[in-house]
């Protein structure tokens, strides 16, 4: 069944809103699963948004297709800003956001003549920034508390004597990027069920506690 294939694509064990709605499922007949994953996710995300917010300006969603075409993460940031908190971030758009975050973590560092160690340090700095944002969003930590936790956590991962992961360094990185990525986590949180949110809080608490 097409629905089962779509649920597999979205990493869903069972239908969750709006995929548990017969009205919404009937719209999935227009989804072409032969397209690339990015295009399928974009088509699903458009259906999700228009199902939840029928009056949403569909012209603003063209950026989703632009992202599928050229992988420029700015397109997704634009769409998220347009959506704001007026429409929940549902499974397909959540997965797009995860892909964008992965792009940011792995692909946005210019290679040029940088050594592998410099590139790895940059990626670890970004990962620490994302951890701080998650702590602020899901655990309600203040920025200073989140940065201290994230700094300690990443240092435990990369080992003693590592440089470039001080609270001050991470603060600069966070300030330059929080307006792009904190709304992603806030929107994802808003779309979570109570049990999913509980699991996320438990996971983050466990990760931070294990570094102490």
Domain boundary among 91, 124, 159: 91
73, 119: one domain? no
67 in the same domain as 151? no
Helix, strand or coil, per DSSP, at residue 16: coil
Look up residue 89 and give its DSSP letter. -
Same domain, yes or no: 68 and 141? no
CB contact at 8 A, 73 and 184: no
Residues 39 and 121 both lie in one domain = no
The answer to the question of residue 36 being in a domain is yes
Domains of the chain: total: 2
pLDDT by residue for the chain (212 residues), tens only, comes to: 688 999 999 988 888 889 989 999 998 988 988 888 989 999 999 999 888 888 888 788 888 888 888 877 777 877 877 776 667 778 898 888 888 777 766 655 444 444 556 666 777 888 888 899 999 999 999 999 999 999 999 888 877 656 778 888 888 888 877 777 788 788 788 878 889 899 999 999 998 887 66
pTM: 0.55
Same domain, 69 and 165: no
Q: Which of 58, 91, 124 is the last residue of a domain?
A: 91
Domain end, chosen from 91, 123, 143, is at 91
Residues 74 and 139 both lie in one domain: no
Tokens 């992965």 locate to 102
- Structure confidence at residue 2 (pLDDT): 85
Contact 9, 54 (CB under 8 A): no
Beta carbons of 79 and 61 less than 8 angstroms apart: yes
Is 155 a member of any domain? yes
Range of the domain at 187: 109-212
The C-alpha atoms of residue 66 and residue 71 are separated, in whole angstroms, by: 8
Q: Is residue 102 part of a domain?
A: no
The pLDDT value recorded for residue 138 is 94
In-domain check, residue 42: yes
132 is written with which tokens?
């701080």
């Amino acid at each position: 069944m097409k629905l089962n294939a779509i649920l597999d694509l979205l990493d869903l064990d069972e239908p969750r809103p709006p995929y548990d709605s017969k009205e919404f499922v009937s719209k999935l007949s227009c989804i072409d699963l032969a397209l690339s994953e990015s295009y399928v996710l974009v088509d699903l995300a458009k259906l999700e948004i228009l199902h939840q917010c029928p009056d949403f300006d569909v012209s603003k969603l063209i950026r989703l297709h632009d992202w599928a075409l050229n992988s420029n993460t700015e397109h997704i940031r634009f769409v998220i800003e347009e959506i704001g908190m007026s429409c929940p971030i549902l499974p397909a758009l959540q997965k797009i956001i995860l892909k964008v975050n992965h792009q940011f973590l792995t692909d946005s560092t210019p290679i040029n003549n940088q050594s592998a160690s410099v590139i790895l340090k940059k990626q670890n700095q970004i990962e620490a920034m994302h951890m701080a944002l998650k702590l602020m969003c899901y655990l309600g930590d203040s920025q200073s508390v989140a940065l201290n936790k994230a700094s300690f956590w990443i240092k435990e991962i990369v080992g003693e004597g590592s440089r470039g992961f001080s609270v001050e360094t991470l603060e600069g990185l966070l300030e330059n990027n929080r307006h792009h990525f904190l709304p992603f986590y806030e929107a994802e949180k808003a779309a979570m069920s109570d049990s999913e949110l509980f699991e996320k809080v438990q996971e983050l608490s466990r990760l931070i506690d294990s570094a102490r």
